[in-house]
Amino acid sequence: MEEIKQPSSTIPRLGMPAPQFEAVTTHGTLRLSDFKGTWLILFSHPADFTPVCTTEFIGFSQIHPDLQKMNCELMGLSIDSVYSHIAWVRNIQEKLGVKITFPVIADLNKEVASLYGMVMPGESKTETSRCVFVIDDKQILRAMIYYPLTTGRNMDEILRLIQALQTTDANGVATPANWRPGDKVIIPPPMTQEMAEERVKTPNVECTDWYLCKKELK
């Protein structure tokens, strides 16, 4: 029987403190703790000067101003040198007219990639997959998205995810499938029978049944 080798890296857990690191980036040496007080999208891409990654970098750059309005920053990562990153972002600006304004980690020793489980050996042992980690302003890991090498990520969904998480934090609510800002939100399910009975009588709450109640945010 073929031996199954376990990958050496682990995948972090939602709701836990995000693994701390210090890394060389295109914006100098940065620590995760430098982002305290700000939301952060830490994302990896397979390699510089590759087509899907280039389209993604343009996409991330386009949503960066919207993210910053939500107190959210971006930081990329791949297993390339900082010189390669600099050459690539300069090339994107020269050839495509898009300035990359966020830092990119040069993770040549795979230190951060291992901490966050970004390398999927079944896909590639030398490249990071298309991972997205949403870290909140208290440095708690709030969401993870993993895409394969072949498939570019959806920037609208990344924006929507941040909007949904921040709406949850601000209002103590959940968000339904395909939720968009302005849509009704879900009131967390009642924990007791009494709460359930009161819930269905609450004005301005639309209840399909006691466990599925929505309301508009004012």
- Which residues are catalytically annotated? 53
Cα separation of 108 and 106, whole Å? 6
Q: What is the largest CA-CA distance in the chain?
A: 64
Dihedral sign, Cα of residue 154, residue 160, residue 164, residue 165: positive
Minimal distance in Å, beta carbon 202 to other proteins? 41
* 27 part of the interface to other proteins, by CB under 8 A: yes
Residue 37 near other proteins by CB under 8 A = yes
Cβ count near 209 (within 10 Å): 9
Q: Which long-range contacts (CB under 8 A, 24 or more apart) does 210-218 make?
A: 212/186, 213/186, 213/187, 214/176, 214/184, 214/185, 214/186, 214/187, 215/173, 215/184, 215/185, 215/187, 216/184, 216/185, 217/167, 217/171, 217/173, 217/185
Q: Is 31 in the site for other proteins (CB under 8 A)?
A: yes
Minimum distance between the CB of residue 33 and other proteins, rounded to whole angstroms? Answer: 8
If binding is defined by CB under 8 A, does position 65 make contact with other proteins? no
- Kindly tell me which of 29 and 204 has the beta carbon lying closer to other proteins: 29
Region 73-132 residues binding other proteins, contact defined as CB under 8 A: 73
Candidate ranges 27-35, 89-97, 139-147, 178-186; the one touching other proteins (CB under 8 A) = 27-35
38 vs 81 by CB, closer to other proteins: 38
**Residue from 9, 38, 124, 171 that binds other proteins (CB under 8 A)?**
38
Query: Interface residues with other proteins (CB under 8 A)?
Result: 27-31, 33-35, 37-38, 73
